[in-house]
Amino acid sequence: MSRFSRQSGVFAHPTSLPSTHGIGSIGQPSREFIDTLAEADQSLWQLCPLGPISSIHGNSPYQAYSAFAIEPLLIDLDVLVEEELLTPQEATPAEPFSDEYVDYDAVREFKYPLLRTAFDRFDDDRPDELWDAFERFREETGWLENYALFRALKREFDGEAWTDWPEPVALREPDALDEYREELADEIRYRAFLQFVAARQWDRLRAHAEQRGVQVVGDLPIYVAQDSADVWANPELFELDEDGTPKDVSGVPADEVNPAQKWGPPVYDWAEHEASGYEWWIARLERQLELADIVRLDHFRGFKEYYAIPADGDGDEGEWRDGPGIDFFDRIEAELGELPFIAEDIGFITEEITQLRRDIDAPGMKVMQYADWCSEDHIYLPHTYEEDTVAYPGTHDTNTVRGWYEALDNEQVDCLHYYLGSDGSEIHWDMIERAWHTASSLAVVPLQDLYGLGAEARFNTPGTESGNWDWRCTDELLEAFPTDRLRTITDEAGR
């Protein structure tokens, strides 16, 4: 059994949506996408984490400056025009951006000065109602001041990692922090303003999604970036040396297909988390439920057992350690009630990990591209999917269905054709239809696969540092959204 009814939807990160500002936003572009989903009888919109990204980490949403904040580039400039914080002329790019990919450097160069202008007007005029709401937001948002101070200090120290800041600030000596809070008050207020604006826009978007019957599926990376407000403000919760650098970092060992991976974020000091009553995690999950209706837990295995690699060692020098297990989830449930989780349980999964997933009633992930189509009962063949799973033709980390299909060897292609009863001419629709007709309670398809786009439209290639996270859907593609066909398949599959 599954806690979820039979539903289906589409994966598309907001950055991928059409807009004139070089990047999708959480304003009108996202509202129109939700409308598009609703018209096709889709009830799920899945996306990547929304946290503040950095060019140093290739703009990956999985290496964010905060586990709580929203990326300011997602702010919709047209809403700031409506609120008279920008003029229409200011919000109009001098030169058109590419509508096929996000040029993050160019977008930053365009949007950040405008966000600063909007803040300066807001700060100078202090319109009563909006200013009062801003003040309340600062008072009521527990994570905000540490984050705003972190970003202000990061600008003050030319973007350096916090472990390279002057020691009194890096180690959070109270007198040093008080001095910088006073000196950087304007920048701190600006960083808080960006989060205030983003929160208002996201809340409005969530309300629109609820009206249209669309649930947001958010994404929670198990680890947080070393160079983040979270690690800087809570060093005791991580395995760090006295200077704040990691003792051990996260990753996974080699398997039959892939070499060992050394991810980089520090591992948690789970004993310290337990001693605190998992206070930080409770706050983090509360925040996720402000952002999403359903939360995908990335690298779910790490809650049962995690792989810790010496910071100065190679990926194959790590060791498995016990995670917090069911005690963690019992504590979370006692504080927040039953939570709507999806468990990212891709890879080598033991019976103990599957049992933990079932104990918390979280469906696991089934990705059709990982199937051995010539094997009778491979775990990723669609006929093996159980109700407590989510069926995916592909994910944000895989190739597109078309790109994957074109790289398959001949034997797998023949077996795939036989299994699906397909000639391959519309392999993307054959895969979508099969995913929709599985026993899985949920089914989700990346937006690119609705159009049969090739490898050039892949969103992310794990283990690579460039060329990721920048694919965009054009206006023309979105206007050609296959509404009727997707609605028909959804109806036939009882979703």
What residues are annotated to the active site? 298, 344, 397
Tell the burial category of 376 from Cβ atoms under 10 Å away from its Cβ (0-12, 13-18, 19+): exposed
Q: Are strands 341-343 and 7-11 parallel, antiparallel or unpaired?
A: unpaired
Q: In the numeric block, which tokens belong to residue 419?
A: 């299994």
* Partner residues linked to 306 by β-bridges: 321
- What distance in Å separates the CA atoms of residue 305 and residue 212, rounded to the nearest whole number? 39
| Contact yes or no for 274/327 (Cβ under 8 A) | yes
Packing angle of the helix pair 104-125, 185-211 (nearest 10 deg): 100
Q: In the numeric block, which tokens belong to residue 25?
A: 């936003």
Q: Are strands 305-310 and 248-252 parallel, antiparallel or unpaired?
A: antiparallel
